[in-house]
Structures are given as C-alpha cells and as structure tokens.
C-alpha cells in the first residue's frame, strides 16, 4: 500500500481541486432540473429550503467523502480499506469504495448517451435545423433522432472518446488542463446566455417564476425534492469526490473548499434558470421537465428569436461542457483502481473502463428504439439502470460514507484532516453523525416509494 500511496498523484493547487470538484458537481441535471423544480415548488421558498439542505447535509457529506479520500490517498477501494484499518474497523468497508467505483461507472454508461445528444444538438442548432419549425415539428425531429440507434451510437462514441482522451493524459496533464478550460467556460457561457435572456426574453416573468416566494406551492413532497437535489447535485457517494480528495494536498482546507464548491454549484443552477425561463416564456411555451425542456422546448424557443441559431448552439456547447466535466470524474475512480490494483498503465486502464462503459451504454441506446418494448418491472433497460443507481445505490452509498466518517473514524483523525475551529468541527461532527444520515435515509425511502 505504501508504494501505491507514494505514486499517487496530487493536484498542483487548491484552485484546480475546486475547479475539478465544481465541474464534477455541475452536470446536466443542474442546468435543466433544478430551475424547473424550484419554479414549480414555490420559487425562492424552495431555493431557501434547498440551501438549508445543502448547508445541513450536502456540505458535511462532501467534507466527509473528501477527507476520507485525502486520508487514504488511494483509489476508493484501497482508500476505504486503509482508513478502516487505521480506525480499527472491519476491512470489508473496502466494498463501500467498490460501490462508489461501480456507481460512477454505471452512471456514465447512460450519462454518456444523453451527453451525446447535446453534442449532436450543437450542430443541429448551429445549422438552423429548427428554424421555422413549430412545436410538433421540433418534437418529431427529436423523436426521429432518438429512434435512430446508429445516430445515438455515433454521438455516444464521440462523447466517450472525448472523456477517455482527457483521463488518459493523467491528473496534471489531462484532468487539470481540462477543468482549467471547462469550468471557467461554463460560467462565461452561462453569463453570455443570461445577458441574451435579459435582452431577448421575458426576463421579468422568468425571474418571477424562479424566485417569487409562493409557500402555497411548497409541500412535504417539495421538501423531499429539495433534500434529494441537495444530495445528488454535489456528486456525493459515487467515488468522484473521494478520488479527487485523494489528490488533494494536505495543507488545503477541506471545509473552505467544500463551501466554495457548494456555492459555485448552486450558482450555476440558479443562473441556468435565469438564462432558460425568460426565453421559454417569451415564446409562450410551457416549461417542461426532463429532456423535453432541453431537446424540444428550448430549440423551439431559440428558433423563434434573433440570433437564435448562434445562442442555441452556445447553449448546447454549455451542456456538453457540463457533461464532460462530470464524466471525467465518474470514470477516474475506476481508472485509478485498475492502475493501482492491477498494474495497468493509465492509457490501458482508460481503454478498458471506457470500452466497458461504451458497451453497456448500447443498452441505453437501444432502450429508446429497438428495445423500447423490452421491460422488466415495467422499466426499460435505461429506466431500470437509472432507478437502481439514482434511487437505491447512490443514497445507500452516500449514507454509509457519512456514517463511516461520523461513527467509525476517530474524532482526532477527522479533526486533523479538517483543520477547522473547534466550534465548526463540533457542528460538522453533529451534522455528519445525525442530520445527514437521517436526511439521506428519507431520500432513500422516498426514492423506493415508501414515503
């Protein structure tokens, strides 16, 4: 283990860790899902509860996973084993690290397919494919697109190749250089689109939809949604933050960087809403949830606005960047494990893990066309994989991680890694032992339909 830890790389600076972790947290869901559920569940009433959930659950869990990673300084499986042995706990905790690796891998198999759609739509929008089209025609074009397995396979392949090309170059040569470009570009593109929404959209109505406090629309279900999104949006439980934490230099404050990551992640979600909904409302369209908003409603909105092809293409570039900054963190734990436990070179480890993701991803591709009639428990291959990872494995993994940090690891070890004031450490200790596990437990029960 000691030789593995000596060869384990580190980020060149704390800023690069922040950029990488923020890029991992910012994904497709942040840009389409958060603004919509906030607007439908009470506007700023939902946002305030969401922020409370981020502070009370999200940040403590992010700190917990990061400190476990830095303490172990290995891939998630070996990291959990080393830290468990140090705490005098059962070494089988290593399989929790294995669950994180598997989760990131499985999520990427279908995330890559959807991300491939965003690349395709860059070219479709820039070429003016949607100009002059009505809602039914735009919907028909989307239906035609996902009904073609060869098109989906092509764009799925392009996205996986881009992901592997970055990860194969290593931490400093690949991950760092990618996040130096992708994460700032995300914010710049978002600000450009917000400016466009201010000038070309119904800005007042869009902002009102997102921020006007309406407690009448906030319910118990809204509370569970706020909890769930606070958990899912920070990339907790899938090995990404553990492996990124394992590359973190020892003199960097985990508490401060976790707060910065959470603020940046939330800011992107809010800015996305400010950019999207003025355009939707200006064209008298209904804000839809899920892929319908991104691939049907927004192309229609851009097609009816001045310079719509240009700014529509920029929007899908933004989505592709967000997806890519997340995908490299999803596959990195598997690559690190293959390198450290099987002695593979990084390029070979990337090829093995990348090909595995691509191959399983074909199941998601065919779920939208040739296998759409094949179901298990009334779910297609894609729906079943999404349910197992998002509703079951991810909450279980996140809950066990924070339980491990709060109840298994020694307080003095946590205190040494966090290097914060006694008061703030006590607050983290209480939140990670009681509040965070209970909250994620509710998310798990809601995800499986008990609540």
- What is the longest distance spanned by two Cα atoms in the chain? 67
Each residue's pLDDT tens digit, 81-115? 999 999 999 999 999 999 999 999 999 999 999 99
Smallest Cα–Cα separation from 399: which of 70, 65, 88?
65
Global pTM?
0.94
Radius of gyration of the chain (CA): 21
The pLDDT score that the predictor gives to residue 4 is 66
How many CB atoms are closer than 10 A to CB 284?
9
Sites in the chain below the pLDDT cut of 50: none
Each residue's pLDDT tens digit, 204-239? 988 888 888 888 888 888 898 888 888 888 889 999
The pLDDT score that the predictor gives to residue 65 is 96
Domain ranges in the chain?
11-58+104-234+268-392+422-447
The span from the CA of 278 to the CA of 199, in Å, is 10
The pLDDT score that the predictor gives to residue 284 is 83
Instruction: Give the H/E segment covering residue 254.
Output: helix 254-282
The pLDDT score that the predictor gives to residue 218 is 86
The pLDDT score that the predictor gives to residue 29 is 80
The pLDDT score that the predictor gives to residue 232 is 87
Query: Long-range pairs for 49-56 at CB < 8 Å and ≥24 separation?
Result: 49/218, 49/222, 49/223, 49/226, 50/226, 50/229, 50/230, 50/266, 51/266, 53/226, 53/227, 53/229, 53/230, 53/231, 53/439, 54/230, 54/234, 54/262, 54/266, 55/262, 56/431, 56/435, 56/436, 56/439
* Torsions phi, psi for 379 (to 5 deg): -125, 140
The span from the CA of 416 to the CA of 110, in Å, is 39
The span from the CA of 82 to the CA of 80, in Å, is 6
The pLDDT score that the predictor gives to residue 1 is 59
């Amino acid at each position: 283990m000691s030789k593995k830890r000596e060869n384990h790389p580190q980020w060149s600076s704390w800023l690069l860790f922040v950029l990488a972790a923020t890029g991992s947290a910012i994904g497709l869901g942040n840009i389409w899902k958060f603004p919509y559920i906030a607007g439908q569940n009470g506007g700023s009433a939902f946002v305030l509860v969401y922020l409370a959930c981020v502070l009370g659950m999200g940040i403590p869990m992010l700190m917990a996973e990061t400190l476990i990673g830095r303490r172990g300084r290995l891939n998630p499986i070996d990291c959990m084993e080393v830290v468990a042995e140090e705490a005098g706990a059962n070494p089988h905790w290593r399989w929790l690290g294995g669950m994180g690796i598997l989760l990131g891998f499985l999520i990427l198999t279908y995330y890559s397919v959807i991300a491939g759609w965003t690349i395709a739509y860059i070219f479709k929008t820039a070429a003016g494919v949607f100009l002059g089209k009505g809602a039914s025609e735009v919907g028909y074009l989307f239906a035609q697109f996902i009904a073609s397995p060869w098109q989906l396979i092509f764009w799925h392949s392009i996205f996986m190749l881009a992901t592997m090309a970055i990860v194969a170059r290593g931490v400093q040569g690949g991950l760092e250089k990618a996040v130096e470009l992708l994460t700032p570009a995300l914010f710049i593109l978002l600000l450009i689109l917000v400016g466009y929404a201010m000038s070309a959209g119904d800005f007042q109505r869009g902002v009102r939809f997102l921020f006007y406090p309406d407690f009448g629309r906030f319910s118990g279900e809204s509370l569970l949604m706020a909890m769930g999104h606070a958990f899912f949006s920070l990339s907790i439980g899938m090995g990404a933050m553990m492996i990124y934490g394992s590359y973190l230099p020892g003199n960097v404050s985990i508490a401060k960087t976790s707060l910065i990551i959470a603020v940046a992640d939330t800011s992107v979600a809010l800015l996305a809403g400010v950019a999207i909904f003025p355009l939707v409302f200006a064209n008298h369209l209904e804000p839809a949830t899920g892929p319908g908003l991104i691939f049907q409603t927004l192309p229609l909105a851009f097609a009816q606005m001045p310079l719509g092809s240009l700014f529509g293409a920029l929007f899908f570039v933004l989505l592709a960047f967000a997806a890519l900054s997340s995908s490299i963190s999803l596959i990195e734990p598997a690559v690190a494990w293959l390198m450290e436990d099987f002695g593979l070179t990084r390029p070979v480890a990337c090829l093995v893990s990348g090909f595995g993701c691509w191959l399983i991803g074909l199941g998601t591709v065919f779920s939208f066309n040739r296998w759409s009639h094949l179901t298990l428990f009334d779910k297609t291959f894609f729906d079943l994989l999404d349910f197992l990872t998002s509703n079951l494995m991810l909450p279980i993994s996140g809950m066990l991680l924070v339980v491990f940090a709060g109840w298994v690891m020694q307080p003095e070890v946590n205190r040494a890694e966090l290097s914060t004031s006694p008061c703030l450490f006590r607050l983290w200790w209480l939140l990670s032992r009681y509040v965070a596990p209970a909250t994620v437990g509710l998310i798990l029960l809601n995800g499986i339909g008990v609540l």
